[in-house]
Amino acid sequence: MVTPSGQQTQADGKEVLLSVRNLSKSFGALKVVQDVSFELARGEVLGVLGPNGAGKTSLFNLISGDIAFDTGAITLSGTPLGREPSYRRAMRGIGRTYQIPRPYAKMTTFENLLVAARFAAGRSEREAYLSCAALLEDCGLAGKANLPAGGLTLLDRKRLELARALAGEPKLLLLDEIAGGLTEAEAGQLVSLIRQVRDRGITIIWIEHVLHAVMAVAERLLVLSFGEKIADGKPQEVIDNPDVRRIYMGIEA
């Protein structure tokens, strides 16, 4: 368990990038996120587990600013984000993918990346061209650079979600079920891509049902159930936790 210490550093001296405190959100009577708190050190990779409807995506929406929280606080590098809209958080370095990919369907794959590079990362035209072209190569999309994104296969859409988020040069990357629906081999490719991202020092929160994929990269797991945090710690400890085992029975072999 992480014990909150000062604003900027954790007990072990690591810099705190993201701090989420007593975060709650309801849709009418439905409490989708309830009193969730955690801290994330710079460079850390946190896996988030939980059954469908547990509030994982909602947690991302709250962090990225796609929806506003009811109570609590979200702090990035010591700055409280409050009600700041999502476009400003993107410029601060929060990048995200969507569980159901949301590409700019009529724009090309390359142009999808350009948007993030020019706006979230604030790059000049020339810089954006170079970084996006390189990212497409890294993510295995170079051959599809000039195709409309709406026509891509599921794997390529997932890659595009990742590539586009990276084009925004995030400090904190939120990955929402990026390996879901892919074959074993495809998921494997994505895992090695995410490893590379981690090796560049980008802090990652990764929601994933494909347990072995997220276990291959995450150094810490957090489990949500009915909007509440029920476990948070070293992957093996979390997996062995009886509550977690009960919830996950039948969902993950």
Ligand X SMILES: Nc1ncnc2c1ncn2[C@@H]1O[C@H](COP(=O)(O)OP(=O)(O)O)[C@@H](O)[C@H]1O
| Site residues, another protein (CB under 8 A) | 64-66, 85-87, 90-91, 96, 98, 102-108, 110-112, 114-116, 118-122, 125, 129-130, 133-134, 136-138, 142, 145-146, 164, 168
- Residue 57 contacts Mg ion per CB under 5 A: yes
Q: Which is nearer to another protein, 7 or 196 (CB)?
A: 196
Residues of 168-191 as b/e, b for ≥16 C-beta within 10 angstroms?
bbbbbbbbbbbbbbbeeebbebbb
Buried b (16+ CB within 10 A) or exposed e, 89-99: bbebbbbbbbb
Scan residues 24-83 and list those touching ligand X (CB under 6 A): 27, 30, 32, 50, 52-58
Cα–Cα distance for residue pair 88/18, rounded to 1 Å: 16
Q: Pattern of binders to Mg ion over 193-212, x per CB under 5 A?
A: --------------------
Nearby residues of 87 by Cβ (< 8 Å), 6 or more positions away: 65, 119
Cα–Cα dist 241/38, whole Å? 18
Nearest approach, Cβ of 165 to another protein (angstroms)?
8
In the complex with ligand X, the residue whose CB is nearer, 117 or 205, is 205
Decide: is 19 part of the binding site for ligand X (CB under 6 A): no
Residue 226 binds Mg ion, judged by CB under 5 A: no
